[in-house]
Structure formats: structure tokens, C-alpha cells
Amino acid sequence: MNDVAAAAGVALKTVSRVVNNEAGVNSATAERVLAAIERLGYRRNDSARMLRRGRTASIGLVIEDVADPFYSGLSRAVEDVARRRGHLVFTGSSGENATRERELVLAFCARRVDGLIIVPAGEDHDYLSPELDAGISAVFADRPAGSGRIVDTVLCDNAGGSRTGTEHLIRHGHRRIAFLGDQPAIFTAGQRLTGYREALLAAGLPYDEDLVTMGVPDQARLAGELARMLALPDPPTALLTGNGRTTVSTLRALPRRDLALVGFDDFELADLLDPAITVIAQDPVRLGTTAAELLFHRMSGNIDPYRQIELPTRLIPRGSGERPPPS
């Protein structure tokens, strides 16, 4: 900038004015500055600019895994909102690891991002307090912050969706419905289990632990669990799977294709399978958009009380969930 000023025979500040399109520069002077910029190949250093201005025009996004379609949809939505607001986004995957989540968040804070969207992996977010106090805005998405911390949060209606899915199966005549969920430590998994139990209770059906498995990571163990359930004296006639990955794994592990199935979370090609898979769809794009908009709202100085927004889920009947039990 100094060089440009010297080359154009003006002061530093005038170059700054031209670069930032500030009003009140003689057009002849501006021309001269522009020419010098062109000649010297000058490009403004935004890092320096932001250090001086105190805001970085960037946000940090911590998700579980960009390669998961749910989170990549969310990412894209966040990115689109950020772009519209002239912000860049740092993205990081925590891999469901609390330490990694913390490292990422803190690294983003050290860069002084203006805001943070976090899908928490950990339970404890006390480490955020100093950053929040220092004026960083944060919105939690998909799962609430741990240890009862109060911040803006956008969730899906996990319990409600799960209840709807279970009710759907009950309505189609099923009385033995198995639930295959994620690790109970994960908020969404717990909520979905709750919804399942509520629906059973409301229908006067017993909650049978033999029909519930939580946190089955690999294909082989899932197949084992399914085999165990199907060998019960009173086996399940329907399955409710607790997330997209589990739904797909279940389809791969299932020895028979005649059980009714409702999957939590929609996935591409669910409609092309035979039978097509009935799902309780979440809306990752809306989740991302809502979280990002809430964040920018905060960043622009809004000081309303913290909000917790719950997004609805939607049952999409496609065939697998409408099969009657064997008569």
C-alpha cells in the first residue's frame, strides 16, 4: 500500500480510500491510484484489514463429518447464508470426538471468527465461556450444548418424529416393533428412543428391552442383533431405525426383506429401493439455514433471550413402513 501511494504520489490513506471505494476522492487522483495498483499488482491484505477493524468476516462451522450427507447438506446451507452476508466459512469435522470438537472451536476462536455454528460432539462446553464472554456468537445445531449451557440452539423434533414413525407402524397393525438406535449418549439417539417409548406407551404396548439395541457400530454386530431378535419366541414384525446410517446397515444386514421398516432420516435412493423405504425425514438444509440466520442475527447485535428452535420432521410413506404384519 505504501508502494502504491509512493508510485501514485499520494498518501497512504488515499490509496486506502480508493481501494475501499470510499466517497470523496478526486476522480483524477483515483485514476492515478488505480493505475499504480494495476502496475504494481497490489492486492489488499484482508487479514491486516480485519485485524485493524476487529471483525474477521468469517465464521466457523464444526460438524460431525462433512462426508455424511446430513452434515454436507447442512454445510452447504450455512455456506450459502454466509456468502450472502459476505462471510467466509472455516469448516471442520469433529468425528464425534469431544476433544477434536474443542480443538476446532478453540482454533476458530483464536482466529477470531465472528461466529460459530457447532454440532456438539462433547457433553461439556464450559470451555466456551471465555470465548462467549469475549463476544463471539455461537449457535448449536442438531444437538443442544452440554451441561445445561444456555445458548441459541436449533434442533429437529427427534422425539416427535420417532413417535410419529412408531405410531405409523402401530397403525399398520404392528405390535412387536424393534428399535435400532445410535449410542444413547448422543442426544438425538436418546430423544428418538424416548419418542418410540412414548408411542408404545400411548398405544398400550409393552416396552420390551429385547427389541431395543443402541449403538451398534458395525455391520456384523448389527446382523447378530437382528438374528437374535428374529429368533425370539415373539419376534418383531417391524423395525424402526434410529438414523440414516443404521437404516442402510440394517438393510444390508437383514436376512429377510419382509419386515416392515421405518427409518429416521431420509437418504438418497430410499425411493428406488424395493420396497421403497418409508422414512421420517429431517431437513438438514433448513437446519443449516436456520442456524446460520440465527447466528447472523446475533452477530448483528441482537440481544434477545437465547432461543431454542425445534424443526418439524415429516413422515414420507414409501412402502416399507406400510406393510402389515404376517397374519
Partner DNA sequence: CTGAAAGCGCTAACAG
Partner DNA sequence: CTGTTAGCGCTTTCAG
Cα separation, 327 vs 319, in Å, equals 18
Q: Within 10 A of 317 (CB to CB), how many other CB atoms are there?
A: 13
Stretch that binds its own copies, among 21-29, 74-82, 143-151, 304-312 (CB under 8 A): 74-82
Give first-to-last CA distance, the chain, whole Å: 82
The candidate with the shortest Cα–Cα distance to 267, out of 285, 287, 244, is: 244
Residue 86 in contact with DNA, rule: CB under 7 A: no
Question: Looking at 23, 110, 231, 303, which residue binds its own copies (CB under 8 A)?
Answer: 110
Which of the choices its own copies, DNA, none does residue 26 contact, using the CB cut-off of 5 to 8 A by kind?
DNA
Residue 20 in contact with its own copies, rule: CB under 8 A: no
Residue 46 in contact with its own copies, rule: CB under 8 A: yes
Burial class of residue 258 (count of CB atoms within 10 Å of its CB; 0-12, 13-18, 19+)? exposed
Which of the choices DNA, its own copies, none does residue 109 contact, using the CB cut-off of 5 to 8 A by kind?
its own copies
| Buried b / exposed e along 16-30 (16+ C-beta atoms within 10 A) | bbbbeeeeebeeeeb
Question: Looking at 13, 84, 130, 308, which residue binds its own copies (CB under 8 A)?
Answer: 130
Question: Looking at 5, 16, 85, 92, which residue binds its own copies (CB under 8 A)?
Answer: 92
Which of residues 28 and 269 has its CB atom nearest to DNA in the complex? 28
Q: Which three cell numbers stand for residue 104?
A: 476446532
Q: Assign residue 231 a region: left if phi > 0, alpha if psi is -120 to 50, beta otherwise?
A: alpha
Site string for its own copies, 223-262 (x = CB under 8 A): -------------------------x--xx----------
Residue 256 in contact with DNA, rule: CB under 7 A: no
The candidate with the shortest Cα–Cα distance to 66, out of 57, 58, 76, is: 76
197 — phi, psi (to 5°)?
Answer: -65, -40
Helix, strand or coil, per DSSP, at residue 16: helix
CB of 234 to its own copies, least distance (A): 29
Which of residues 47 and 302 has its CB atom nearest to DNA in the complex? 47
CB of 31 to DNA, least distance (A): 10
Beta bridge mates, 58: 88
Cα separation, 122 vs 119, in Å, equals 9
Stretch that binds DNA, among 38-46, 99-107, 144-152, 195-203 (CB under 7 A): 38-46
Residue 90 in contact with its own copies, rule: CB under 8 A: yes
Which of residues 67 and 110 has its CB atom nearest to DNA in the complex? 110
Cα separation, 296 vs 307, in Å, equals 14
Cα separation, 145 vs 62, in Å, equals 13
Which of the choices its own copies, DNA, none does residue 7 contact, using the CB cut-off of 5 to 8 A by kind?
none
Site string for its own copies, 167-206 (x = CB under 8 A): ----------------------------------------
Binding site for DNA (CB under 7 A): 1, 9-14, 16-17, 19-20, 23-26, 28-30, 43-45, 48-49, 51-54
